[in-house]
Structure 1
Amino acid sequence: MTVILNTWVFEALVKQGTSQVALTQHVADLGADGIEVRREYFTDIAQETAEIGKLAKQLGLIVNYSVPDEVFTPTGELNPQLPTYFAEGQAMGIEKIKFNTGHFDRFTGDLAAALGQLPLDQIEMNVENDQTPVSGTVAAIEAFLTAAHQATSADIGYVYDLGNWAFTQGDAAASAQALAADTHYIHLKNTREEQDKLVTTADLDTGIYDWRELLKLLPHDVPFALEYPMATDAEITQQLQLLRAEVGD
């Protein structure tokens, strides 16, 4: 199996000023297969993307890219920033780039032409269920993926984010079943209610979801990412071992 560490795992270090370049080495030292870089954590994008790309290649790490932006703007246009995000990804040598769908429901243009502007033959684009009613429903994701697969032969897929279903009050099991065929990547985190609000926990085994049962509904031949803050390397190592023991090699 392939296990990626999303850099949210190192939230405390990032807040202390640790760069994602340094975290690339840290991910390798912890024994993960790759790093998922978060765009919002950059301080100097041009410099850091180039350095991450060089270092990850030396270390043999997979690099994926999480971009907190949408494919379609609120007016239904293809996001004009997408080529920039793909160029940043190319500098890092990424395999996958992840967005939110956004307002595909308002798109009225030529989808084949729109997607044809992007280097989808070089980088796999995925959309994730986020924590909004716009992009965080099965219907919204299915609508975009169905249209995209009709418009292009590019391998556009879906990132199943377990913890986010709690925030949209979605059915995590039914969603897994509905979207399993399009699932190219799985983000794992658990969620619980704390003082009348939902919070992400630091342990897969703590929260409202039985993640082991849910994984039975999803493919196992795709990469998995741990995506929740943890305080120590010991905790990260334990969670990596927990996941690997369940899914296997």
Structure 2
Amino acid sequence: MSTIEQNLQQVTERISSTARQCGRDPQEITLLAVSKTKPVTVIEEAIRAGQTAFGENYVQEGIEKISYFQQKAVTTPLSWHFIGPLQSNKSRLVAEHFDWLHTLDRRQLAQRLNNQRPQALAPLNVLIQINISGEDSKSGILPAGLAELAAQVAELPRLRLRGLMAIPAPQADYQRQLAVFQKMAAIFGDLRRRHPGVDTLSLGMTDDMPAAIVAGSTLVRIGTAIFGARDYQAPTA
């Protein structure tokens, strides 16, 4: 068994254990392997171990990986998620290549993505990013702006509003992590009442995954626990 396979098994077991302890079905929770800055060789290991959903932060790097696996004609259906901040001048690349965008935060970007999504592809799955900690340095909208933006996105035929994503300010204390995630879960519940098709709450990374699952996350974004420390010498395009 490879190191990547072992790591994936350990993360999956941790997800299952945490879910069962709080009375949730582990099948409700998707594991997104954050593969940014990692070479295709380790992604291939993850695919062989059964992982199919991957998250990328850098547009060009992500497209190169997507193209690599398309050219290899991998038989396993893969799902590619763009999880980094997206500049408007790169929206076409995401619209044309990715399956998901986790960081939608403005109407103009939504309109561009809608116009640029190829008709041959299924609508782009989008999550609205919430700046739940109110940090000036963080991307995302404040909760007060969610209803308006969600209504606008729901009207765009080439986008599919799937839910919310947040990256709260780091907290070492579990109870503080949980409190912020529960706040996000309440906002998510309100969004689902307004838009019944919404089904995804993207919360939790390696250091705060248990609290996110207890609060109700349906998708956890795990990189370090699967692939190890990241190489930030990688391109940032």
Structure 2-normalised TM-score?
0.56
* Cα gap change, 1:140 to 1:106, in 2 (>3 Å): closer
Match of 1:183 among 160, 185, 192: 160
Q: 1:81 to 1:231 in 2, by over 3 A?
A: closer
Query: What 5-or-longer segments of structure 2 have no aligned partner?
Result: 1-5, 20-25, 219-237
Residues 164/155 of structure 1: CA separation in 2 closer, same or farther (3 Å cut): farther
> Where in structure 1 are there 5+ consecutive unaligned residues?
1-17, 58-62, 71-78, 119-123, 131-135, 195-199, 244-249
Task: Look up the match of 1:53.
Answer: 47
> RMSD across aligned C-alpha pairs, in angstroms?
4.3
CA distance in 2, matches of 1:25, 1:91: 26
Q: 1:228 to 1:53 in 2, by over 3 A?
A: closer
3-state SS of paired residue (2:53): strand
* Equivalent AA in structure 2 for residue 69 of structure 1: Y
The question of whether the paired residues in 2 share the 8 Å contact of 1:158 and 1:184 is answered with yes
Q: 1:37 to 1:25 in 2, by over 3 A?
A: same
Query: Aligned ranges for residues 55-94 of structure 1 at < 5 Å?
Result: 55-56=49-50, 63-70=52-59, 79=60, 82-87=63-68, 93=76
More strand by share: 1
Specify which of 166, 180, 188 is matched with residue 211 of structure 1: 188
User: Distance in 1 between the 2:101 and 2:201 partners?
Assistant: 15
Q: 1:141 aligns with which of 92, 97, 110?
A: 110
Match for residue 81 of structure 2?
A: 98
* SS at 2:58 equivalent: strand
Tell me: CA distance 1:92–1:24, structure 2 relative to 1, closer, same or farther (3 Å). farther
Q: Number of matched residues?
A: 185
What fraction of aligned residue pairs are identical, expressed as a percent?
Answer: 7
* Structure 1 position 23 matched with structure 2 position 8: no
Per-residue displacement from partner, 1:87-139 (whole Å, max 9, x unpaired)? Answer: 359869454212254333797xxx9xx94xx5xxxxx6223325xxxxx3221
| SS of alignment partner, residue 162 of structure 2 | strand
Secondary structure of 2:197's counterpart equals: coil
Query: Are the equivalent residues in 2 in contact too, given 1:162–1:188 (CA < 8 A)?
Result: yes
Q: What is the CA-CA distance between 1:82 and the residue it aligns to?
A: 0.7
Contact 2:33 2:54 in 1 (8 A): yes
Please say if 1:34 is aligned against 2:30. yes
CA distance in 1, matches of 2:49, 2:91: 41
